[in-house]
Amino acid sequence: MSELPNDPMDDLLHRAHNTAQGAPAEFKGRLRARMAAEAGARRRARVMYIQTAVAVAAVVVIALVLGLNWQWFVSTRPTVQPETAERSNTPAPAEAPVFNTPDIRPEPQLPANTPPAKPDNSEQPQPPEEPRRVPEPEPEPTPEKPDDVVEQPKPDDTVEQPKPTEPKQPEGTEVKPEEPRRALQLSVLGEPKLRVKYEGGEWADYAGEELFEGVQLKARGNVDLHLAGGGLARFNGELQLQRDGDALGFTVLDDSLYVDNLETGQAVTVEGAGHPATMDNGIGVFYLVRDDFEVGCIAGALSLVDVKVEPGTTRRASARGVGDAKKLKADSFLRGIPARVLLREDFDTPPPGGMYQEGERLVNGVVVQENQPGFIAFRYNPTLMVLPGTVLRMRFRTTDVSRLELELFTDSEITPLKRNEQRMFKHTWKPDKNGEWTELELRVEEIPERDDPANFPTYGTVLRNFKLHFTGKKLEIDWVEFVRVQ
């Protein structure tokens, strides 16, 4: 079989050769050999073009694979500078490698079925065609680094690593520190049967510890409390104590409560069965009766659910509102309430208001006077207000004394260059026994005025001093106190 494809030109050449006169017989063979050589040369050129194209495509594929997987050749271990390795655990950002891959563009290939070029009509054989040379690919220019590429510091440079920041909590979700409980500034009198409990805790016997807001108290019998400013409270049953602003707040959970904050400057709020009462300055008694709350005013000012309760009356609050006023009646709960101390001098040291220094002297906590005519006197610090139920108590001893005279002067305004009238309340008596210590108790509201015996001290009368005259050899006083008794 012929190596050449079936070409009509061959038939024409044969016919021309056969009809030509003098054509040598071997020319036909030489012509066919020449044509076969040209066909082989063209075939080899096509094979070389194909191999070159395949090689270039392989190089492009390998370059793309390496460019997309550059991390195979870069260490993922974080770079930490020696100076900051101990201060931060955050690795320094590593620079991504940049590959410079040349863009190799292969020469266009000839299709495999491209027919051979037509030979010249000349009788002379043509030299074989040289294969076309593939031009070398031109190098692609190196791209500039983008602005967002971070340069890796040199080994000699010291880079300050940023300190890790705490994640910011969303607004309104910050955990607020728990505020410490405030002390209630009150004390338990005596050693009653009392149990205490705080929220989330268990009941425990009271052992004299300080009480804080939120405490619940449960009493077996009556329990007396000394309040800040000299006030007094008594309760039985159960109640809870808290701070209501600057006021001391009581919540009656069971039974009864008595509070005296008259002239203490310490306001009190009381609540029972959801009904609030307020007493800025007064003496009141409070009873929890099922779902009702009954409030009585002994002295001063008291309100129940914004309704004023007059002294000597009671009102009851229920689901229907506050009832009418009724007369306050005596109650066994009020019996035996301890005296509230208004002023006391023990003479261990001179009184804050000062002694009159008319011959008195302090000897082992006792003030002594032996001069005649003589008296023992001291000033209050600065004054003393008479409250309902104020009682004067003192412990004294006389030696050959036949008469005692107590004088209580009011604190009146003094106007210069004018005659200033001072009121003086006076009580005179003869000692029962000389040479023995005696305790005396006098109701101040029963001591008459010297110039008007029908007039007596009342609630609000302000006194400025204590003065006790005596007629005899010697007078000694151990202590003096003014108290308010219920």
How confident is the model over 94-136, as pLDDT tens digits?
444 444 444 444 444 544 444 444 444 444 545 455 555 555 5
Neighbours of 457 (CB within 10 A): 22
Q: Angle 16-17-19 (CA atoms, 0-180°, nearest 5)?
A: 65
* Residues 237, 167 within the same domain: no
* Residues 168, 214 within the same domain: no
Please name which of 423, 454, 225 lies closest in space to residue 340, comparing C-alpha atoms.
Answer: 225
pLDDT at 185: 87
- Burial string for 145-171 (b: 16+ CB within 10 Å, else e) reads eeeeeeeeeeeeeeeebeeeeeeeeee
Question: Is 48 part of any domain?
Answer: yes
CATH number of the structural domain spanning residue 352: 2.60.120.200
* Residues 328, 422 within the same domain: no
Question: Is 269 part of any domain?
Answer: yes
DSSP code of residue 306:
T
Question: Is 22 part of any domain?
Answer: no
ω into residue 125 within 30 of 0, thus cis?
no
Q: What is the pTM of this model?
A: 0.62
Question: Is 421 part of any domain?
Answer: yes
Domain end marker among 274, 308, 334: 334
| DSSP line for 417-471 | TSPPP--EEEEEE--S-SSS-EEEEEEGGGPPBSS-TT----TT-EEEEEEEEEE
- Could you tell me if residue 446 is left (phi over 0), alpha (psi between -120 and 50 degrees) or otherwise beta? alpha
Half-sphere exposure of residue 30, counting CA atoms within 13 Å on the CB side?
10
pLDDT at 82: 46
- Could you tell me if residue 200 is left (phi over 0), alpha (psi between -120 and 50 degrees) or otherwise beta? left
Question: Is 293 part of any domain?
Answer: yes
Q: Are strands 326-327 and 204-205 parallel, antiparallel or unpaired?
A: unpaired
Q: Are strands 438-443 and 340-345 parallel, antiparallel or unpaired?
A: unpaired
Q: Report the length, in residues, of the chain.
A: 486
* Residues 209, 269 within the same domain: yes
* Residues 354, 320 within the same domain: no
Question: Is 258 part of any domain?
Answer: yes
* Residues 290, 240 within the same domain: yes
pLDDT at 87: 45
pLDDT at 46: 83
Please name which of 246, 296, 298 lies closest in space to residue 272, comparing C-alpha atoms.
Answer: 296
Q: Which residues of the chain have pLDDT under 50?
A: 1-3, 80, 82-108, 110-123, 125, 127, 146, 149, 155
* Residues 159, 247 within the same domain: no
pLDDT at 5: 55
Question: Residues 71-81: pLDDT tens digits?
Answer: 766 655 555 45
* Residues 159, 199 within the same domain: no
- Domain tally, the chain: 3
Token output for 136 = 């070398």
Domain end marker among 334, 358, 387: 334
Question: Is 108 part of any domain?
Answer: yes
* Residues 191, 170 within the same domain: no
Beta pairing partners, 252:
239, 272
Task: Say if residues 439 and 429 touch (Cβ distance below 8 Å).
Answer: no
Token output for 115 = 């027919």
* Residues 398, 468 within the same domain: yes
Task: Say if residues 124 and 182 touch (Cβ distance below 8 Å).
Answer: no
Q: Range of 225's domain? A: 186-334
* Residues 286, 403 within the same domain: no
Domain end marker among 334, 350, 368: 334
Half-sphere exposure of residue 314, counting CA atoms within 13 Å on the CB side?
15
* Residues 203, 166 within the same domain: no
Question: Is 15 part of any domain?
Answer: no
